[in-house]
Structure 1
Amino acid sequence: MTSMFSQWRTLVVFSTIHHDIIDWPKRLHIAIGAAQDLCYLYNDCSPPIVHRDVKASNILLDSQFNTKVADFGLAKILIKPEELATMSAVAGTFGYIAPEYAQSIRVNEKIDVYSFGAVLLELTTGKEVNPGYEYLSLAE
């Protein structure tokens, strides 16, 4: 029996293969699809959901490069969207965590927007956001 996600592969694949395989129109399609997925979480879900771990490996692609945001293990439901939720600890992946979230541990959709920006950097440069060095990130 195959899982319903067996046709999907992770976006992180693009950084390990030759750049010619994913051309610019496909990259744009991926970026728009992931943005629409995140927009759905904030605007169409009731109550809104903040993913808190948006990263390339949590964006799945099908054979047409359509996206699905996956892995909601760290997601937070915003019961009162007008109020910022406060967490007891920072959750997420180094290189994708918004600096203001790391300092204040206040949760809102802006932390996912920052992480999505990091994914866009990966998508446009073909490099990892966090190459494994503690004090180095793609933005730097």
Structure 2
Amino acid sequence: MYRRLIIIACLIEVSFLLFLQYRYNNILDLFPFIGVLVFFMVLSYFLKVQLSKKRKEIVLLLQTLFLIFIPIYTITTLPQYTYERAVDKVTQNLEEPYVVNKQKNTLIEDESNEIKKGYMFSVEKNSEVTSFVFDPWTGNYHEVQD
């Protein structure tokens, strides 16, 4: 019974983390958590039968703690801006029509010289291309000079 619940909970959390990776344009470092959840699914499916009762309880406790910790940690450390909101903030003062292209991530340095990931995209308006780097945690952005 617990084995199936753990596997279902892990599948739901992996789906949730993959959705967040997509929504935040892959700037989140969630793949270690996804790896832990996949490990727990394998552990639940294959090894629980071979463990003693005491070890099964310890494994179940660890899995439950991680299943609670991972979403709480992920949600509390999410950036303030998704990729779409970042584009909206940068382009809110531009008149239509414009085209946004080059969705990719870049490394940025903040005020405390900490390196982290951010969004980089270009806005094309009247054949003039302007590139921007956006910090999704603070909402700060600047134009990139070519």
Q: Which band: TM-score by shorter chain?
A: under 0.3
- Give the structure with the higher percent helix: 2
Query: 1 or 2 for the larger relative contact order (CA 8 Å, sep ≥6)?
Result: 1
TM-score (norm 1): 0.27
